[in-house]
């Protein structure tokens, strides 16, 4: 019985980390869009870069939340 609970904890933690896939894809798309925008309009590079960094921080927060949930599943209860 204890082995089943441990296995289910690992499964739950793995499923919780699926949330990081969206963050990774989002960060990649943000970087791609920023590079394309800067290539089209180099004068707006500062504004584009600031907005990109802010959006990446929000996307990365989702990945950090998923990591925290996975750690809670593994080590609490």
For each of the domains in the chain, give its residue range(s) and CATH number, in order of start: 2-75 (1.20.20.10)
Task: Kindly report the backbone phi and psi dihedral angles of residue 8, in degrees, each rounded to the nearest multiple of 5, phi listed first.
Answer: -70, -30
pTM of the model: 0.79
pLDDT at 62: 92
pLDDT digits (tens), the chain, 77 positions:
788 999 999 999 999 999 899 999 999 999 999 999 999 999 999 999 999 999 999 999 999 999 999 999 999 96
71-74 long-range contacts, Cβ below 8 Å, gap at least 24?
71/13, 73/9, 73/12, 73/13, 73/16, 74/9, 74/10, 74/13
Distance between start and end Cα atoms, the chain: 15
pLDDT at 77: 67
Tokens standing for residue 23: 């963050």
Tokens standing for residue 31: 């970087």
């Amino acid at each position: 019985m204890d082995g089943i609970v441990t296995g289910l904890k690992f499964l739950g933690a793995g499923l919780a980390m699926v949330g990081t896939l969206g963050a990774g894809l989002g960060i990649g798309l943000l970087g791609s869009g920023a590079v394309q925008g800067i290539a089209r309009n180099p004068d707006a590079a500062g504004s584009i870069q600031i907005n990109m960094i802010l959006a990446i921080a929000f996307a990365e927060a989702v990945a950090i939340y998923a990591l925290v949930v996975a750690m809670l599943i593994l080590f609490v209860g």
